[in-house]
Amino acid sequence: MASTSGGIGVFTWMTLIGCLVLGVVLSSGWIVAAGLLLMVVGNVWMWRRCELFPIEKQAAQAANRASWAATFFAAVFVFFG
């Protein structure tokens, strides 16, 4: 599950960033709209294919804390590089 959800997140962000950059570079709102549509459709399709199963509450809390810590360190790295 973790690798699947990570892949879905990467797809979502890369599609979002890619369509925004292409739209700005090519001055085309259509590219942005098409990319956003692709992102939403792909995201829904992938989550429907993903098999979900319950996990322990402690494991979910630990994963959540690790995720926030990684996000914090990534933000610090981006700002203070």
Count of C-beta atoms within a 10 Å radius of residue 19 = 20
Residue 3 confidence (pLDDT): 61
| Position 7 pLDDT exceeds 60 | yes
The closest alpha carbon to 21, from 30, 32, 12, 10, belongs to: 32
**What value does the mean pLDDT take over residues 64-73?**
92
| Region 66-79 average pLDDT | 92
Q: Global pTM?
A: 0.61
Domain spans of the chain, in order of start: 1-50, 56-81
Tell me how far apart the alpha carbons of residues 26 and 21 are, in angstroms, rounded to a whole number.
8
Measured between alpha carbons, how far is 75 from 51 in angstroms, rounded to an integer?
31
Instruction: Give the Å distances, CA to CA, from 30 to 13, 26, 66, 78.
Output: 19, 10, 38, 30
